Structure 1
Amino acid sequence: MTTIENPAAPTRVYPPEPVFAALANVGEEAWEQAADPVAFWERQAERLHWERRWDRAHTWEPARPTGEVDPDGRDVLTVPKAEWFAGGRLNAAVNCVDRHVDAGNGDRVAIRFEGEPGDRETITYAELQRRVAQAANALERLGVGEGDRVVVYLPVIPETIVITLAIARIGAVHSLVFGGFSAEALRFRVEDTGAKLLVTTDGQFRRGAAVAVKERADEAARGENAIEHVLVVRRTGELTPDIPWTPGRDVWWHEVVDTAPTTHEPRFFDAETPLFIIYTSGTTGTPKGVVHTTGGYLTQASWSHWALFDAKPDDVYWCTADLAWVTAHTYVLYGPFSNGATSVIYEGTPNTPHPGRHFEIVERYGVTTYYTAPTLIRTFMTWFPNGLPADWDLSSIRLLGTVGEAINPAAWEWFRANVGAGSAPIVDTWWQSESGSAIVAPLPGVAVLKPGSAGRAVPGVTVRVVDAHGDDVPSGTSGFIVIDGTWPSMARTVWRNPQRYLDSYWRPYADRGYFLAGDGAKVDADGDIWLLGRIDDVINVSGHRLSTIEIESALVAHPAVGEAGVVGVTDATTGQAVAAFVIPARSLTAEERADPAVWRAIEDELGAALRAQVTREIGAIAKPRDIIVVPDLPKTRSGKIMRRLLVDLFDDRPLGDTTSLQDDTVPAQIATRLADRA
């Protein structure tokens, strides 16, 4: 491994607003309080309801050499093992629902649901408790018990939250799968988890249409697996009438859940009881099913939501992530509900039936905290190149958040100015499925915000930026971000493959005890972290390793560019060259989008200016050889640009796995543009 070239320095900073800082949940003293991390996390664990307190706050067995060598000549290492709050007993669903009702807050709104067609539902904590109890009773009636796995293949609807909490309530293990995934992607997860139950819908609404889903679920349930029942939510009904049905195996939600008793006596489970399995994206290689356990994960999820999003009792909180992604596990399900929050969930796409649908929802429910992906922010910039019109009242917003990828400074500034009224703090969170909760993020009442920087590691966690040997790199120099030691919400293993857990995350720096996150970063002179993207998302031009995020930020800073995706492509002279796929900031009419001459004219107009922009901000070595103007970029539902697909499209190679795409028509649109340029 080698370091990545250093990005440009920031030009503006934003101290915390005095009024916000005065009322913030967490102040500067948090880092002093976390000087002893284990004692700090013990105090945060006390925020939860424990049926029995833990015996040991924390134990850690790092990877150690055994003295043997494997066939590849590497030292054989033991698999590391962490435990947090072992011996303590709790129930995640009780912490997220029952204790709020018991505290007299049953009438507080838990969920504001908006379906894509416009249907709406308000669910209080008392009602959520009844529904979770019904689902728990139904699960047990279907033979699901402690330790059994349940795969949930549902869209963003209340039933997804209900069944997830019910699975946790009975001590089973849930694995949520994005409702847009293919049958093959679903089959892998069904088989790998050994799931006993699959939960799905007859159909879902997507971009204004009802789309059948049950057939894909059936295809995934064929073959060798442990599925005993398929539980089906009736979502689209007569709009998708011809759904397949297997008598004896398939059961309707409204027949087995809605008719079940509305009370359920919870059991309590050891803190290290597995809570869920979540699969990494699968864009390269076989997806890894990382395992999170109950006590440590819930402790850090709950505290980090309260601290980073400054959660107040009267907040209306909206995290826009699909419920299958880890972002939603932590910051829709377990974090907010453990804190008794009111959460908005929305089933559909942000431009159905119009590009301002999100802002319409913000106004309708008085959203105070809006947490979304930088990719969507950049998309908004292309939809509203002159800024947001005054059609929607966004004055309720007091805090913004970003997740998924590093946010470009230009997008950060646009987000604050247009959605945050120029004053709302932006909590830019860096973390991943394996970390379980935000690891680097600004405390909104404390941090001096820098557009494009995620700030410092959260209290109780230590982060370093190191070189290939594990040594800290100097300020301003790029390296690899690692987590030094352990933290409560860390994944404990890879499902059925502990060796992969060791090799993927701990082996590279086993002698230091560092967890390798897989991202490049730098630390500035103030100690703030700047993320540079995945280690694999690096372009090697004549020996210079350039960050894709850095080049994309330079491109997006140009007023004519709304979004950019940068990749390295083969070059006979330099080894790799920079290819930039850019979306124009100005909106095009349908006629313009269909005219190849318009796209060629935009490329001709922008080419020289964008190359000059990158040269000015980074240097000539980063100047794109190819600039391709495209209508959209391939993104996952969680907002990440799938740069691998851009390389495959540029080189005219088979695309491989595209199941996690937000819009599966985008590759064909880009292919058309590339063919037109040939």
Structure 2
Amino acid sequence: MYRESVEKPYDFWYKVANENYHWKEKNFSLEEPKSILDYNFDLSKGPIHIEWFKNSLTNICYNALDRHVENGNGDRVAFYYEGNDINDNHSTITYKELLKQVCKFGNVLRKLGVKKGDRVAMYMPMVMELIIAVLACARIGAIHSVVFGGFSAEALASRLIDSHSKIIVTSDYGIRGDKLIALKQAVDEAIDHHCQDTGFTCEKVIVVNRMNSKIVSMDTKPSHSISSPQIHWYEKRDVFYNDLMNDETISEECQVEWVKGEDGLFMLYTSGSTGKPKGLLHTTAGYMIYTSTTFKYVFDYHENDVYWCGADIGWITGHSYVIYGPLICGATSVIFEGIPTYPTPSRYWQIIDKYKVNQFYTAPTLIRTLMKIGDEHVKNGSTRDSLRILGSVGEPINPEAWLWYHNVIGNGKCAIVDTFWQTESGGHLITPIPGCITTKPGSATFPFFGVQPAVLPPTIEPQTPAASEELEGDCEGYLAIKFPWPGIARTIFGDHDRYEKTYFGIVNGYYMTGDGCRRDSDGYIWLTGRVDDVLNVSGHRLGTAELESAFVAHSSVAEAAVVPCPHDIKGHGIYCYVVLKDHVDISEQKKRDELSHALKQWIRHEIGPVATPDFIHFAFKFEKDC
């Protein structure tokens, strides 16, 4: 199959698209290859463009829900929802029930004036309402922009301003272990403070009352305690989700907006090597085909399996392998709101036994964290006998963690799929297919169907026509890809020039991943980490420039430089060199400690907890006579 996918890519993807999806209008054929794929990867030949099935009409929500209901599978479980606490709410939703909820919310959005192409932002915890909101946008042709709930109000504001989202869907709080995350408060701060004088206008904030919070007056500081959570309320702007959904005039049937293959589906922001995050735009048909095809083969999913991806929907893994890939394939999945160590470090393994999970997909950071806690929390109280496939995502997995994952979590019998991919790629790029490829601990192995990788020398000059420069055999260099795959992001929202320069402006004719790799003598690919100014912290991509900009915004800081450092758990730690302003006194250790703590809190506030520095190194300017 791989040989066919690279030697006859048009035939391969035509066959996949023709057999497995619903098309309102199937306007593609092998007689017109450009109706399947029309592209240019080489800036020297004109603007970059990638178009898959551009003239055909489909809808990804219809393919994820209606199709299964119409085929008699409406009573199949779509999601088992597992709450934060073992005594918290747990629920099950079938494909038929999910379709009704999605249709209702799609009608809610239409009633609020949302039209095809409008952007709707979401800043939410891992609850079913987030999945419903995402699919409702897809159903009516709106573009969803999910912002990770761990980001700060300022980081949220920058994404709202860039995307021009007219509606925001949020929650009063998220809950992580024994802590509340004040999401509604962050939305209020983003709109009322950070978005002022920018031209951004928010029409409505839809609030899921996750914690049954009470509304308090504006002159009262809200309580953030789990026992008595409180929020502020803006009458003209805010509306409760349940009030909208309980409106008897809202129908449970919602007309599908049939969209062209290259119409926008969602935007997702990822950090770049400049301070401004990149709003990557994914389109409908290619993403639909690629994310579901990768899901089907990489996780070896079969009917009646139960699958669980532990990623947050605020990241691309959550988009592709919590929502779209599994639902398009008619899968039954687990969605978990909590954290793996609460109320016990055995929580994940108890959930796997409870739902008899067959495929489990998580990050090396989590694997290393649980490995350090000890084997007894895995082996005592869980069998994990149902597991068949174990997946790894977000960063390279070190061999020690790979072997522990295989031997302890998988009882030595599970295939490991170590997947390399990116927000930009939409789905897996380099990955083993279980049962087909002999794995090596720490290697992502070989490319997925249609992916044509190349290893380029680290000394290659910009704008080089690089076909003759590709390294062969056992080598190390930059990982590039020389032919489009259906899931690739099409542009950076509002800035196609930046998209071209970032991914195609380095070497003519190649998409540059920004990652280094090594290829061994057997052809296996080993990822070696980022080669641009992006850190990979616990699978989360953070731009050094964004961190540096946040540091110098502090009143004590004159200059800052951020670099990665090795971290046993997170992969990359964040090491920060900080030059202070002349008036700042750190002559005593206590003052240095206090300022270091204050700067860490500042970064948590400006960007989010995931960006908290591991080390702050106070550097000093050298005077001319020094």
TM category (shorter chain) comes to: 0.7 to 0.9
State whether residues 139 and 256 of structure 2, in contact with CA within 8 Å, keep that contact through their aligned partners in structure 1: yes
- The answer on whether the counterparts of 2:58 and 2:260 sit within 8 Å (CA) in structure 1 is yes
Give the counterpart of 1:148 among 110, 118, 128. 118
| 1:489 paired to 2:459 | no
User: Match of 1:122?
Assistant: 92
Q: Residue in 2 aligned with 1:373? A: 363
Do structure 1's residue 229 and structure 2's residue 217 form an aligned pair? no
SS at structure 1 position matched to 2:400? helix
Work out whether 1:205 is the aligned partner of 2:182: no
Question: What is the CA-CA distance between 1:241 and the residue it aligns to?
Answer: 4.0
Q: Distance in 1 between matches of 2:534 and 2:5?
A: 38
Deviates further, 646-655 or 278-287: 646-655
Separation of aligned partners in 1, 2:368 and 2:164: 39
Q: Does the 8 A contact of 1:538 with 1:548 survive in 2?
A: no
Q: Name the structure 2 match of 1:137.
A: 107
The structure-2 alpha-carbon separation of the partners of 1:475 and 1:386, relative to structure 1 and needing over 3 Å to count, comes to farther
Question: 1:86 aligns to what SS in structure 2?
Answer: coil
Shift of 1:86: 1.0
Give the aligned residue type for 2:433: L
CA contact (8 A) 2:5 2:13 kept: no
Q: What is the alpha-carbon distance in structure 2 between the residues aligned to residue 244 and residue 150 of structure 1?
A: 22
Determine the structure 1 residue equivalent to 2:434. 444
Residue pairs, 1:531-570, within 5 angstroms: 531-536=527-532
Q: Give the Cα–Cα distance (whole angstroms) in 2 for the partners of residues 313 and 232 of structure 1.
A: 36
Structure 1 residue aligned with 2:517: 521
What SS class does the counterpart of residue 504 from structure 2 fall into?
A: helix
| Residue segments in structure 1 that go unaligned for 5+ positions in a row | 1-28, 66-76, 540-546, 550-577, 584-632, 636-640
Task: Give the CA RMSD over aligned residues.
Answer: 2.8
Distance in 2, matches of 1:225 and 1:662, equals 26
Give the distance between the partners of 2:161 and 2:572, measured in 1 at CA: 26
C-alpha change, 1:499 and 1:90, in structure 2 (3 Å) is same
Ranges in structure 2 where 5+ consecutive residues have no aligned partner: 29-34, 214-225, 461-465, 539-562, 581-591, 620-626
Residues 533 and 548, structure 1, Cα contact 8 Å, conserved in 2: no
Aligned to 1:214: 184
In the other structure, the counterpart of 1:638 is none
Deviation at 1:261, TM superposition (A): 1.7
CA contact (8 A) 2:6 2:452 kept: no
Residue 505 of structure 2 is aligned to residue 473 of structure 1: no
Distance 1:126 1:361 in 2: 24
Percent same amino acid at aligned positions? 39
The AA in structure 1 aligned to 2:125 is P
What's the CA shift for 1:649?
Answer: 8.2
**Structure 1 128/580 Cα, relative in aligned 2: closer, same or farther at 3 Å?**
closer
Could you say if the C-alpha distance between residues 477 and 34 of structure 1 is closer, same or farther in structure 2, counting changes exceeding 3 Å? closer
Q: Could you tell me whether the CA contact under 8 Å between 1:283 and 1:657 is conserved in 2?
A: no
Deviation at 1:138, TM superposition (A): 0.3
Aligned match for 2:41, one of 62, 68, 90: 62
Deviations 1:95-117 (A, max 9, x none): 11111000000010001111113
Amino acid across the alignment from 2:14: E
Give the conservation status (yes or no) of the 8 Å contact 1:88–1:271: yes
Report how far residue 233 of structure 1 moved: 0.5
- Partners of 1:328 and 1:580 in 2: CA distance: 27
Q: Is the 8 A contact 2:577 2:616 kept in 1?
A: no
The Cα shift of 1:538 comes to 11
Residue 34 (structure 1) shift: 4.7
1:151-179 deviation line (CA, Å, top 9, x unaligned): 00011100000000000100000010111
Task: Give the Å deviation of 1:282.
Answer: 5.7
Give the distance between the partners of 2:537 and 2:361, measured in 1 at CA.
24
Distance 1:80 1:399 in 2: 38
| Superposed counterparts of 1:165-314, under 5 Å | 165-222=135-192, 223=196, 224-238=199-213, 239=226, 241-259=229-247, 260-281=250-271, 285-314=275-304
Q: What whole-Å deviation, never above 9, does each CA across 1:627-670 have from its counterpart, x for those lacking one? A: xxxxxx6x5xxxxx453x22448999866855665567x647x6
C-alpha separation in 2, matches of 1:657 and 1:383: 28
Write the distance in 2 (CA, Å) between the matches of 1:150 and 1:36: 38
Per-residue deviation at 1:420? 1.1
Which shows bigger deviation, 499-508 or 275-284?
275-284
Cα distance between partner residues in 1 of 2:422 and 2:5: 25
Indicate which of 65, 71, 81 corresponds to 1:103. Answer: 71
Shift of 1:263: 1.3
Aligned amino acid, residue 514 of structure 1: Y
Quote the Cα distance in structure 2 between the aligned partners of 1:474 and 1:303: 29
Q: CA deviation at 1:283?
A: 8.2
Deviation, structure 1 residue 474? 3.7
Paired residue secondary structure (2:289)? helix
d(CA) in 2 for partners of 1:313 and 1:235?
32
Q: Secondary structure at the match of 1:103?
A: helix
State the 1:48 CA deviation. 1.1
Q: How many residues align?
A: 541
TM-score (norm 2): 0.82
SS in structure 1 at match of 2:575: helix
Whole-Å separation in 2 of the counterparts to 1:218 and 1:387: 40
Contact 1:387 1:418 in 2 (8 A): no
Decide whether the 8 Å contact of 1:52 with 1:90 is kept in 2: yes
Partner residue, 2:217? none
TM-score if structure 1 supplies the norm length? 0.76
Q: Partner letter of residue 245 of structure 2?
A: V
Q: Given the superposition, is the C-alpha separation of residues 314 and 495 from structure 1 closer, same or farther in structure 2, using an over 3 Å criterion?
A: same
SS in 1 for 2:230: coil
Give 1:258 shift: 3.6
Matches within 5 A, 1:407-486: 407-467=397-457, 468-469=459-460, 470=466, 471-486=469-484
CA-to-partner distance for each residue in 1:441-481, whole Å, 9 max, x for gaps?
Answer: 01112001000000111111101111143322243321000
Cα separation, partners in 2 of 1:395 and 1:284, compared to 1, 3 Å: farther
The match for 1:341 among 328, 331, 338 is 331
Matched, 1:505 2:498: no
SS in 1 for 2:439: coil
SS of aligned partner of 1:191: helix
1:49 to 22, 36, 39: 22
Query: Are the aligned partners of 1:521 and 1:532 in contact in 2 as well (CA < 8 Å)?
Result: yes
Partner of 1:10: none
Change (3 A) 1:140 1:580: closer
Letter in 2 for 1:461: V
* Secondary structure of 2:53 counterpart: strand
Q: Structure 2: how far apart are the matches of 1:159 and 1:283?
A: 33
Paired residues of 2:261 and 2:285 also in contact (CA < 8 A): yes
Distance 1:337 1:352 in 2: 28
CA apart distance, 1:387: 7.6
Partner of 2:62: 94
